Chain A
Amino acid sequence: MIEMKELRKAYTTGKVEFEALKGIDLSIKHSEMVAVVGPSGSGKSTLMNIIGCLDVPTSGEYRLEDDPVNEMTSNQLADIRNKKIGFVFQAFNLLPYATAYENIEVPLLFARVSGKKRRERVNELLARVGLADKAGNKPTEMSGGEMQRTAIARSLANDPDLILADEPTGNLDSKSGGEIVKIFHELWSAGKTVIIITHDMNIAEQAQRIIRLKDGLVEGNGNLA
């Protein structure tokens, strides 16, 4: 599903150039569940943003389902983000003025899903993450766990094959975090490809494979013993 070769990403702040990814080779298959771990600043988020087509690499190759992402137009990338990838952020990134229902609806609106189907889908997703009774709540009226469940429901809106989560439990207490991890597990069981960045080894150990990043390079990459 994902193939990366010699992938590099450099950030330029003022005159200083900093290479956050220094040549990543990576391969992730369909229906895998992968945990990405590594110290802070090792380039985990940078890598995840590139996988999720939220950012572009400075050099190197990235193929998503055998299509070269480097060669895609911005509209093609938008459509991929809309339909093929579900992204869950540490900071939730919900629209602050919209209700849970409306937030989940957004990707469906971009996909031009018709009114009735949209309603069914949003309600189905709300039920799936256990928020049927919070449909009308705005982010300010929800707990962290509820916000993250809303974000997960939103990431699943157009039934993507690939779910990416960047420290999804980083802002949550362990109980809410546990519920979130459970949902990702279920998704994987249902056949989705799931990639989670985490600091929590308990969570990482639930994955099939752990990718260890250090200083912008893959340090360890293999099945858990």
Chain B
Amino acid sequence: MVPLLSLKQFFNDMRRQKLRTLMTTFGIFWGTCAIVLLFAFGKGITEAQLKSQRGLGENIAIFWPGITSKEFKGLPKGRRIRFTEDDIAMIKARATTVSRISPEYSRWSVTIKHGKNTYNQQVIGIWPEFGEMRNIIPDVGSRFINDLDIAGRRRVIFIGDRLKEDLFGSEPAVGETILLDGVPFTVIGVMKEKKQDSSYSGRDNRKGFIPSSTFKTMYSARRLNDFVVQCKPELTMKQTKDEIYGILGGRYKFDPTDTEALSVWDTTEGFAFLKTFFMAFSAFLVGIGVATLITGGIGVTNIMNVVLEERTKEIGIKMALGARKSMILSQFVVETLMITAVGGLSGFLFAYLIVSIFPYLNLDEFIGVPMIDTSIGLLAVVLIGIVGFTAGIFPARRAANLQPVQALKLF
């Protein structure tokens, strides 16, 4: 048990020195609140950006046909390189760096009809893996294209959430039949809403997705519009690209170093940029946080110093009246701990309150949803507490180590 003078004395002192107690508590309240909010918003913004980037898919690259720019084994440059679904099957069979791959047949303006609603939208033919790569998640009660659909060339369609709304409104869509250019298809799934800022051929939410085999038959398609590749998570996209250039280069006889032969969008490059950007952003936040802490700490220290004169005299009086050194110090310790706890906790709660009402302000499109990081809040409280504590305890210790008469006369 701390040799506290007595709770009564303690609370009397706190109550009487209202201003100092209040200012110090407020300093800690403010510092904690500012830092917690800073990091909550920082995290919200970062997450929002990363999420919308992920809407396209993680670790993926898209390959389009290209035109050779180098002569190769006697063949001239300027040849068109295009590919078929068989090529993708070959890459899937041979490539060791690829985790997923899917061909993509595409038709831009397909008439999609349900009842009286008719829309012209893009329809693509893909493999089941396409969904996983591109973060296309089926909504409740839905499923994406599967292997049986491919094998059976089933006339089934998975639709984007906006397209579903256009066609069905709030009515259920799964199990219903819609017409694609007059051909009936059964809706097997609806995409769960997702945030997607980047795309290479329109947003997924207004597209229709059908099995590649069905697409091929229905439109007598031979060439792919493009294919999508996901590299193994432990590897880099560079390795995957090199491997695919090698495989297709062997097949279509182009120089594997001829980057123009295929047209590639490596989304991991953008991701790498975003990650660097947000690392810098985080560093910036840490900088502001540290500055806030220092400012808060100086504020607390100042308040402590303003009252130092009064406090030293008070300590002298108490010692003259028989207070032991440990009683005086423990009072300071408990006082600082209480002020820190109250200030820190209320600062944290206030920040929490702001963060909680934030989603109702409908601003999340711009800056995401702020997320509180408890450990940051705790860290802020502890750091400000240490500063305040140091500011309070050292003068107190110095005073308590004096002879009573010295403390009385110090100022």
Contacts and interface: CB of A to CB of B under 8 A. Distances in A.
Given A97-B17, A98-B16, A109 B5 contact: yes
A78 B317 contact: no
Contacts of B12: 98, 102
Given A97-B16, A109-B8, A82 B321 contact: yes
Given A55-B406, A56-B403, A98-B12, A107 B321 contact: yes
Contacts of A109: 5-6, 8-9
Nearest to B13: A97
Interface in A149-196: 154, 158
Q: Is the interface of B mostly helix, strand, loop or mixed?
A: helix
Contacts of B310: 96
B325 A81 contact: no
A223 interface: no
Given A54-B403, A95-B314, A106 B325 contact: no
Interface residues of A, number: 29
Contacts of B6: 109, 112
A110 B16 contact: no
Given A93-B317, A98-B12, A106-B9, A82 B322 contact: yes
B283 interface: no
Contacts of A49: 405
Contacts of B322: 78-83, 107, 110-111, 158
A154 B404 contact: no
A55 B9 contact: no
B81 interface: no
A82 B322 CA distance: 4
Contacts of A56: 403
A78 B325 contact: yes
Interface string A74-99: 11001111110001000001111110
Nearest to A96: B310
A172 B112 CA distance: 104
Interface residues of B, number: 27
B16 to A, nearest CB: 4
B354 interface: no
Nearest to B400: A74
Contacts of A75: 324-326
Given A54-B320, A81-B321, A154-B321, A110 B5 contact: yes
B137 interface: no
B320 to A, nearest CB: 6
B23 to A, nearest CB: 16
Interface in B2-20: 5-6, 8-9, 12, 16-17
Contacts of B319: 78, 81
Which 5 A/B pairs are nearest by Cβ-Cβ distance?
A82-B322, A97-B16, A54-B405, A54-B404, A81-B322
28 contacts: A52-B320, A54-B320, A54-B403, A55-B403, A55-B405, A74-B324, A74-B325, A75-B326, A78-B322, A78-B323, A78-B324, A79-B322, A80-B322, A82-B321, A93-B313, A93-B320, A94-B317, A95-B314, A98-B12, A102-B12, A106-B9, A109-B6, A109-B8, A109-B9, A110-B322, A110-B327, A112-B6, A154-B321
Interface of B: 5-6, 8-9, 12, 16-17, 310, 313-314, 316-327, 403-406, 408
Given A55-B403, A93-B320, 15 more contacts: A54-B320, A54-B405, A74-B324, A81-B320, A81-B321, A82-B321, A82-B322, A83-B322, A93-B313, A93-B317, A97-B16, A98-B16, A110-B318, A110-B324, A112-B6
Interface of A: 49, 52, 54-56, 74-75, 78-83, 87, 93-98, 102, 106-107, 109-112, 154, 158
